[in-house]
Amino acid sequence: MSVQLWTGCSVATMQAAAGTPYGWVEDAAIAVEGDRIAWIGPRDQMPGLLRKGCEQEHDCRGALVTPGLIDCHTHLVYGGDRAHEFELRLGGASYEDISRAGGGIASTVKATRAASEAELAAQSLPRLRALMGEGVTTIEIKSGYGLALDHEAKALRVARSFAREQAVDVRTTFLGAHALPPEYAGRADEYIDDVLRMLPALHQQGLVDAVDAFCERIAFSTAQTERVFKAAKALGLPVKLHAEQLSDSGGARLAARYGALSCDHLEWLGEEGAAAMARAGSVAVLLPGAFYFLRDTRVPPIDLLRKLGVPMAVSTDCNPGSSPCTSPLLMLNMACTLFRLTPEEALAGVTRHAAQALGLKDRGVLAKGMRADFVLWDVREPAQLAYAMGFNPHRQTVFGGRPR
Ligand code: DI6
Ligand code: FE
């Protein structure tokens, strides 16, 4: 047995069952064997056998340790940027105005299609590196800016390549039903036919972990979304949904019927939708960056979600149009400031509940048998992670038991 020991730290294990805020362990020891946690707890309670098998001891010198952060909703792989549209919006145009005038997602589709696979990787990698620099160890990346088989495949391959080349785990989501590509203008149902052809082809290439759609008046109807969900279910793939971002379209209720892993955005979520999510066990993924960047004023129904026991995740939504954000720490702050989450809820949102939103049972909390993905921070208490704005106290990330 070869054990790596990490000591001299306090740990926010984020275990709900621990019965302490943040699953807190003072003066902790973490024993790592291979890519798993072999033991974690107060140092003076560690079994002697583990100390004997210890190959190397790392002194964390008073660091706070949390689970590796999980960014469970991103559109990180895209070409170009939309700084010009940012200027237009500052001049008075709305996100929906720009979208209807052929800008918005469509302009990113153009840039993404024009980029070669290598160019797309080169443009996207700095964003991933920024997220990793704030402790991200697992990231979900959606397609949805290719909107044609070859370009969707290209983007998903780029996303998958990051898992091989960087010390990070990547889950890929097919978001073919993100927007109507220009060549299908006025023919949304025919485009959905195309999405239903793309999905099995991409799945066969091993590029799809889950299926998402944008259910909204500027995107796809519930009927169109349901066709995509049916196809996903037929392939045994889990679904999730961009739901009730700009209006209450009934997306959450539909997604819940298909046992969605998560419903995301949710500014316009009503009682019925929330109740359906609670029954289905779907996670509410909150995206305060998009809320902030679009200067939204309608806050997701946080009290209702709390009352119904719907787990809340928090994510960057990293994308060029509504949340050009590569900072999970800033999202913690905004989740607290804008949505009134507690710092503990916010941190659970990028750890335990983010893992649940991706259907991953081996991470998100620090406990025996879990993946040894954790972060050393130069702060004393976890609330400091949500409190500061634009300050990064990240010291080191351990990914699969190895310092990154
Ligand atoms: N909702 C969003 O906020 C992003 N996609 C979506 O379905 C925005 C994507 C973009 O504007 O490029
Ligand atoms: Fe999104």
Helix or strand holding residue 232 (H, E): helix 222-234
Whether residue 228 has pLDDT greater than 90: yes
What are 75-107's pLDDT values in tens digits?
999 999 999 999 999 999 988 889 888 889 999
Residue range 190-217: mean pLDDT, rounded: 97
Q: φ and ψ at 69, to 5 degrees? A: -75, 145
Q: What is the mean pLDDT of residues 282-286?
A: 98
Cβ pair 109, 319 in contact under 8 A: no
In this prediction, residue 226 carries a pLDDT of 98
How much is the pLDDT for 1?
A: 60
Distance 42 CA to ligand 2 centre (A): 40
Helix (H, G, I), strand (E, B) or coil at 240: strand
The whole-model pTM stands at 0.97
| Residue 251 Cα to ligand 2 middle (Å) | 14
pLDDT of residue 100: 81
Q: Is the pLDDT of residue 399 over 90?
A: yes
Q: Is the pLDDT of residue 338 over 70?
A: yes
- Taking the CA of residue 179 as reference, the ligand 1 atom at the shortest distance is 7
- 109 has a pLDDT exceeding 80: yes
First to last CA, the chain: 22
- For ligand 1, atom 7, name the residue with the nearest CA: 214
Q: Are 134 and 369 in contact (CB under 8 A)?
A: no
Residue 238: count of CB within 10 angstroms of its CB: 18
Question: What's the whole-number average pLDDT of the chain?
Answer: 96
Q: Is the alpha carbon torsion for 76, 77, 83, 88 positive or negative? A: negative
DSSP E strand stretches across 276-324: 283-286, 312-314
pLDDT (mean) for 49-54: 87
DSSP conformation letters of 158-196: HHHHHHHHSSSEEEEEEEEETS--GGGTT-HHHHHHHHH
Average pLDDT over residues 48-55: 88
Predicted confidence at residue 203, as pLDDT, reads 98
What the block records as the tokens of 394 is 């990240």
Residue 49: its pLDDT value, please? 86
Ligand 1 centroid vs 299 CA: distance in angstroms? 17
What whole-number distance in Å separates Cα of residue 105 and Cα of residue 107?
Answer: 5
**Res 218 pLDDT > 90:** no
In order of 98, 140, 159, 334, the CA distances from 168 in angstroms are: 35, 11, 11, 25
Q: Give the mutation target among 78, 94, 113, 322 for probing the ligand 1 site: most ligand atoms within 8 A of CB.
A: 322
Q: Residue 101: what pLDDT? A: 83
**Ligand 1 atom closest to the CA of 216, numbered from 1:** 7
Atom of ligand 1 nearest to the CA of 290: 3
Rounded average pLDDT over 233-254: 96
Residue whose tokens read 């979900």: 140
Q: Give the pLDDT confidence of 122-138 residue by residue, as tens digits.
A: 999 999 999 999 999 99
CA 25/CA 27 separation, integer angstroms: 7
Distance CA 243, CA 266 (A): 6
pLDDT for residue 349: 98
CA–CA separation, 333 and 341 (whole Å): 9
